[in-house]
Amino acid sequence: MPIDTRSKITPCLWFDTQGDEAATFYTSIFPNSKIVDISRYGDAGPRPAGTVMTVLFELDGQRFLALNGGPQFTFSEAVSFQVDCATQEEVDRYWDSLSEGGEEGPCGWLKDRFGLSWQIVPSALPRLLSDPDREKSQRVMAAMLGMKKIEIDELERAAEGVVA
Rounded distance, CA 95 to CA 134, Å?
29
Domains within the chain, CATH numbers bracketed:
9-73 (3.30.720.100), 75-164 (3.10.180.10)
pTM of the model: 0.91
- Beta strands per DSSP E along 23-115: 34-40, 52-59, 62-68, 80-85, 103-104, 109-111
Exposure string of 103-140, with b = 16+ CB inside 10 Å and e = fewer, is eebebbbbbbebebbbbbbbebbeebeeeeeeebbebb
Q: Contact, 26 vs 17, CB < 8 A?
A: no
Going residue by residue through the chain (164 aa), what tens digit of pLDDT does each one get? Answer: 555 556 689 999 999 999 999 999 999 999 999 999 999 999 998 999 999 999 999 999 999 999 999 999 999 999 999 999 999 999 999 999 999 999 999 999 999 999 999 999 999 999 999 999 999 999 999 999 999 999 999 999 999 988 65
Helix axes 152-159, 134-145, angle to 10 degrees: 140
One-letter amino acid at 101 equals G
- Residue 14 phi/psi, 5° resolution? -90, 120
| Alpha helices (H) in 5-100, listed in sequence order | 19-29, 88-99
